[in-house]
Amino acid sequence: MRFIRPIAACLFGLVAMAPTGAPAELTLSGFLQQNTAFNTVAANPDGRRHKWLEERAQLKLDATGGAWRALVKGDIAYDHLGRQDETELREGYVDYAAGNWELRVGRQVITWGLGDLVFVNDVFPKDHQALFAGRPLEYLKRGVDALKFGAYPEFASFELVVAPGFRESRIPDAGRFWLYDPMPAVANRETVKPGQGDVGLRVYRDIAGYDATLYLYSGVQRTPSMRPDSMAAPTKITYFYPRLSVYGASLSGRAGEGVLSLEAAYYDSRQDRSGGDFSIPNSQTRLLAGYQIQPAADLSLGFQYYVEYLYQYAAYRAALPAGFPVEKQWNPTVTLRMTQMLMHQTLRLSVYALHSLGNGDDFINPEIRYSFTDRLSGAAGANFFGGKPWGQFGQLSQDDNAYLQLRYEF
């Protein structure tokens, strides 16, 4: 709720500024949804048998008048596992569009970069739990409360994002997911959220038929680091969000028969450039190469090769306490996505598979999706995890689940 009030104030302020008498067009839409995910291997750490079980309604109100637009997208959900907020403002913003610039103020979803479930320059908040618990893809992204200024002169396009406050990514909940914990005996835990916001700039243009983009970001990590009060006899763990800057670039365009995507970013871990603090991730370079082709009608294939390179590796190894899992300096990952549309694109079969060549982690998500009518659609799928007990996906190997989504749109 604490996010909603300032946004509402912004919305009303901007709407009040809108010229009166401009013809406004109002549309109301939304959906009702049932979403269930069953565990297929083990019960949750808290003993429940579902990863997700909820009914949800979304209302979307879209108002347009001249150069102005306001959008509010809000959810109300009943969560049978009882651990979720029951209301959520998904998005709520006001737009003003001028000839070659525009402004968006409020809660908005921002996605940067080219990766498919691999994030190089997409520094904006995500909901990783949603992805692993079989929720619809749109719940992977969380909105940020920000001002976005777009400028579109002839030579390039600019998008500046300024967020006065911090919004974190949602990581899997320890009651629902079996997560690796190097200090399971310490019960006293505290999270310190950064008081600062963040700022990002994206600049893009066409270069010889390729979409070329530069990304600059200054803010904090979206997922927390943990620091014990003592290594020898820890009594308390503090979760905190280290400062981070990201400098990146991407290129995408046609190559041969398909679409080639190249993306790179340097993660400047400003709070631990020397690499001597084991609780803060070291600086990194992330590289991604993706290729998508369409070998037959209504069939598409996407391949990605992604690698993370860790700087100050010797300092990292020296600072890492005994017993903590060791990350490799080079950590490559490959992914494959295959999508086949059938029956006039009302039936979609897809599979996404990820394999880490660095630590052997696996993540596989097969899904079948069908539109019964233009309004009623359903999906059935599964999430399979595997690998080392401390790997990003390996730690979830007890959390395999099968899910169902049923949605009525209006």
Partner 1 sequence: MKRRWPWMLVGLLPLQALALSGEEVMKKSQAAFLYPGKDFKARVVMKLISKDGQQRVRELTLLRKNAGEPGGDQKYFMYFFQPADVKDMAFMIHKYPAKDDDRWLFIPAINMVKRIAAQDKRSSFVGSDFTYEDVSGRDLEDDNHLIEREEKVGNRDCYVLKSTPKAGDADFAHKVTWVDKGSFLPLREEQYDKKGVRYKLFTADEVADIKGFPTVIKRTMKNLQTGHRTEVAYLKTDYDLGLEDNLFSERFLRQPPRKWID
Using CB under 8 A, list all residues that contact partner 1: 25, 29, 31, 64, 69, 95, 97, 102, 108-111, 114, 136-138, 140-141, 150, 152, 157, 204, 209, 211, 252-254, 257-259, 261, 292-298, 300, 341, 344-346, 371, 373-375, 377, 407, 409-410
Nearest CB to partner 1, comparing residues 69 and 355: 69
Phi, psi dihedrals of residue 108, rounded to the nearest 5°: -145, 150
Please state, in angstroms and rounded to a whole number, the distance separating the CA atoms of residues 10 and 107.
10
Nearest CB to partner 1, comparing residues 108 and 359: 108
Nearest distance, CB of residue 247 and partner 1, angstroms:
21
Nearest CB to partner 1, comparing residues 186 and 259: 259
Nearest distance, CB of residue 368 and partner 1, angstroms:
15
Nearest CB to partner 1, comparing residues 97 and 357: 97
Instruction: Supply angle C-alpha 172, 173, 179, rounded to 5.
Output: 70
Nearest CB to partner 1, comparing residues 260 and 264: 260
Please state, in angstroms and rounded to a whole number, the distance separating the CA atoms of residues 146 and 311.
32
Nearest distance, CB of residue 298 and partner 1, angstroms:
5
Contact between 270 and 244 under an 8 Å Cβ cutoff? The reply is yes
**Sheet with strand 225-228: strands edge to edge:** 188-192, 236-240, 225-228
Nearest CB to partner 1, comparing residues 55 and 211: 211
Contact between 360 and 394 under an 8 Å Cβ cutoff? The reply is yes
Please state, in angstroms and rounded to a whole number, the distance separating the CA atoms of residues 307 and 285.
8
Nearest CB to partner 1, comparing residues 86 and 206: 206
Nearest CB to partner 1, comparing residues 217 and 278: 217
Nearest distance, CB of residue 217 and partner 1, angstroms:
17
**Residue keyed to tokens 């200090």:** 183
Nearest distance, CB of residue 297 and partner 1, angstroms:
5
Reported as half-sphere exposure (CB side, CA atoms, 13 A), residue 371 has a value of 11
DSSP, collapsed to helix, strand or coil, labels residue 139 as: helix
Q: How far is CA 243 from the centre of its chain?
A: 19
Q: How far is CA 202 from the centre of its chain?
A: 18
**Residue keyed to tokens 């979206």:** 222
Nearest distance, CB of residue 219 and partner 1, angstroms:
19
Nearest distance, CB of residue 271 and partner 1, angstroms:
29
Nearest distance, CB of residue 111 and partner 1, angstroms:
4
Nearest distance, CB of residue 1 and partner 1, angstroms:
24
Contact between 253 and 283 under an 8 Å Cβ cutoff? The reply is no
| CA separation, residue 28 to residues 7, 31, 60, 61, 66 (Å) | 20, 11, 6, 5, 18
**Residue keyed to tokens 């490799």:** 328
Nearest CB to partner 1, comparing residues 213 and 333: 213
Please state, in angstroms and rounded to a whole number, the distance separating the CA atoms of residues 112 and 213.
10
- Could you say which DSSP state residue 168 is in? P
